Amino acid sequence: MEFLSFLDLSFFLLVGFGTLVGIIFGAIPGMTATMAVAVCLPLTYALGLNHGLALLLGLYVGGISGGMVPAVLLNIPGTPSSITTTFDGYPMAQKGEGEKALRICVIASLVGGLVSAAVLFLFAPLLADFSIKFSYVEKFLIILLALSVIASLSNSMLIGIFSGVIGVWLSLIGDYSISDGGNGHTRLMFDFMEPYLFEGFSLLPVLIGIFGISTILLEAEKGVKRDVAGERVKIGKESAFSFSIFKGSFTNLTRSSFIGTFVGMLPGVGGSAASVLAYTQEKNLAKDSSQMGKGAPQGLISSESANNALTGGALIPLLSLGIPGDSTTAVLIGAFTLQGIQVGPLFIPENHDTWYVMMTALVLANFVMFVLMFFAIKHIAKVVMVPKHILYPLIVMMCVVGAYAINYGIMFDVWTLLIFGVLGYLIQKIGLEVAPLIIGFILGSQAEVYFVKSLESFGTYSIFFTKSPIALVLWALIAASVVFAIAMGFKSRARQKMELSQMHDPSHTASGKHHDSRND
């Protein structure tokens, strides 16, 4: 085992340092794993390949998992793939269970990361051949599947769909690029906006604005009483964390980890689709999903195990084909080329040592992430005890800095942040929902591109059904998800009716309850 000679002290220190810095990047809204890797890429020039990879993989794993911290504590997804973490994390934090929520997230992340690393190690070349069979047609169907779950995400199907459609509409603003099969003209805007909106609204400022700034506006509206924050939020007092929370979550963990790995290995589909799919599959398949969205650990488990499983998944096509699975691995290519190594079909057979070094770094980074976060959480979670009149201005400042930095200094991104902050506030005021809207925003334009490109490549609508068996399976899943959402809608309406009738007729209470529990 020659590769063991590369594993010296500095290797371990670099993995640790990378993971720590990655977590910080992930935790600051507007800074991402991709940025962390890009910023540190030039350092690898001096470090050499193996040490460089140790640093970069640490940054990657840390950056993806760091997103959970603001998602849970502040309702701001640090990265697009932690959107679903806010659904249950923030309600838990509001109940004073932020610490517990973060611990659950960390464990789920570790499992997701390790499952995907194992899949990468054992099946990389095999799966790579499978993943390139996903043409635009199959990618469109996967995104359609993720979009189809919007309806079942919200309390009222109609409001969910309506919010989702607004999100899709917003995502279409900008240039209808010729490369995407469009006509090269801008859509849904006036000419004077063209200099700013040619590329549309950029994702992260929208995300941080609509979640973060709007949450702060909603809180500010309540009025901030000096120094009471600490009293209201008692961290970890109400119900302490214990590993028994994970009892019965085996299926959820495994399913979500595999969904994450799978979506990760499809180039161009993106992390948000992974966690959304994992979250809604849990919601549809779990025995009891009534608490999801109100602070249920199972929601955190599915979201976080799926988004950390992206790491191993995205490395599969990178290392066995040279095709990056996501934007961060695209930057990793640079680290290889800087050292004169070609990632591609010959990489693993010809660079055995590097391959083992990478696997070691990946697994190690997951454990370092776990140790760093699990024991630091007690302190990190105290963030919410900072009096709000001090905390919120700081968060707004960080959001603004992050929005400005995300595309390396474009002022319009800051305006986007503020516009969507106010928009997010208004949306919630009039009773619409933010989650379906943002999912529509992220996936809408992607769905369009893949739909148009499919038609451009294959020239017929029937291709969506005849392309491959994979396509048919995906259609079946889409149909199941839609039918399920409708059935759920009826069920919850029936329950509401029953609750109403119970209020009017107390004699039915007992039988009604009985009926209720059977339904769940």
Binding site for other proteins (CB under 8 A): 38, 41-42, 45, 132-133, 135, 177-181, 183-185, 195, 198-199, 267-268, 321-324, 327, 330-335, 337-338, 340, 342-347, 407-409, 449, 453, 456-457
Within 10 Å of residue 379's Cβ, how many Cβ atoms?
A: 9
Q: Give the pair of three-digit tokens for residue 115.
A: 């499952």
In the complex, the smallest distance separating the C-beta of residue 80 from other proteins, rounded to whole angstroms, is 17
In the complex, the smallest distance separating the C-beta of residue 28 from other proteins, rounded to whole angstroms, is 19
In the complex, the smallest distance separating the C-beta of residue 406 from other proteins, rounded to whole angstroms, is 12
* Vertex 40: Cα angle to 39 and 46 (nearest 5): 135
In the complex, the smallest distance separating the C-beta of residue 271 from other proteins, rounded to whole angstroms, is 17
Q: 174 has which bridge partners?
A: 187
Compute the distance between CA of residue 266 and CA of residue 470 in angstroms, rounded to an integer. Answer: 13
Nearer to other proteins, 199 or 219 (CB): 199
Nearer to other proteins, 185 or 504 (CB): 185
Nearer to other proteins, 41 or 474 (CB): 41
Compute the distance between CA of residue 265 and CA of residue 133 in angstroms, rounded to an integer. Answer: 12
Nearer to other proteins, 178 or 397 (CB): 178
The values of phi and psi at residue 187, to 5°, are -125, 155
**Largest Cα–Cα distance of the chain, in whole Å?**
78
In the complex, the smallest distance separating the C-beta of residue 487 from other proteins, rounded to whole angstroms, is 37
Amino acid (one-letter) located at 80 = P
Nearer to other proteins, 133 or 378 (CB): 133
First to last CA, the chain: 54
Nearer to other proteins, 283 or 453 (CB): 453
Nearer to other proteins, 472 or 498 (CB): 472
In the complex, the smallest distance separating the C-beta of residue 442 from other proteins, rounded to whole angstroms, is 16
CA distances 100 to 72, 85, 238, 286, Å, are: 10, 13, 10, 21
Nearer to other proteins, 104 or 310 (CB): 310
**Is 2 within 8 Å of 354 (Cβ atoms)?**
no
Burial class (CB in 10 A: 0-12, 13-18, 19+), 39: middle
Distance of CA 11 to the CA centre of its chain: 29
In the complex, the smallest distance separating the C-beta of residue 457 from other proteins, rounded to whole angstroms, is 5
In the complex, the smallest distance separating the C-beta of residue 185 from other proteins, rounded to whole angstroms, is 7
Compute the distance between CA of residue 464 and CA of residue 448 in angstroms, rounded to an integer. Answer: 14
Would you list the DSSP string of 22-85? HHHHHHSTT--HHHHHHHHHHHHHHH-HHHHHHHHHHHHHHHHHHTHHHHHHHS--SSGGGHHH
Number of Cα atoms under 13 Å in the Cβ half of residue 451: 10
In the complex, the smallest distance separating the C-beta of residue 306 from other proteins, rounded to whole angstroms, is 24
Within 10 Å of residue 329's Cβ, how many Cβ atoms?
A: 27
Nearer to other proteins, 245 or 348 (CB): 348
Q: Kindly compute the dihedral angle of the four CA atoms of residues 494, 157, 212, 195, in this order, to the nearest 10 degrees.
A: -170
Q: 186 has which bridge partners?
A: 175
Nearer to other proteins, 322 or 387 (CB): 322
In the complex, the smallest distance separating the C-beta of residue 196 from other proteins, rounded to whole angstroms, is 12
Number of Cα atoms under 13 Å in the Cβ half of residue 315: 28
Q: Nearest CA to 385 among 101, 105, 93?
A: 93
Compute the distance between CA of residue 209 and CA of residue 420 in angstroms, rounded to an integer. Answer: 5
Distance of CA 213 to the CA centre of its chain: 19
Nearer to other proteins, 262 or 347 (CB): 347
In the complex, the smallest distance separating the C-beta of residue 77 from other proteins, rounded to whole angstroms, is 22
Report which secondary-structure segment, H or E, holds 174. Answer: strand 174-175
In the complex, the smallest distance separating the C-beta of residue 482 from other proteins, rounded to whole angstroms, is 28
Nearer to other proteins, 2 or 191 (CB): 191
Nearer to other proteins, 64 or 149 (CB): 64
**Is 108 within 8 Å of 305 (Cβ atoms)?**
yes
In the complex, the smallest distance separating the C-beta of residue 128 from other proteins, rounded to whole angstroms, is 10
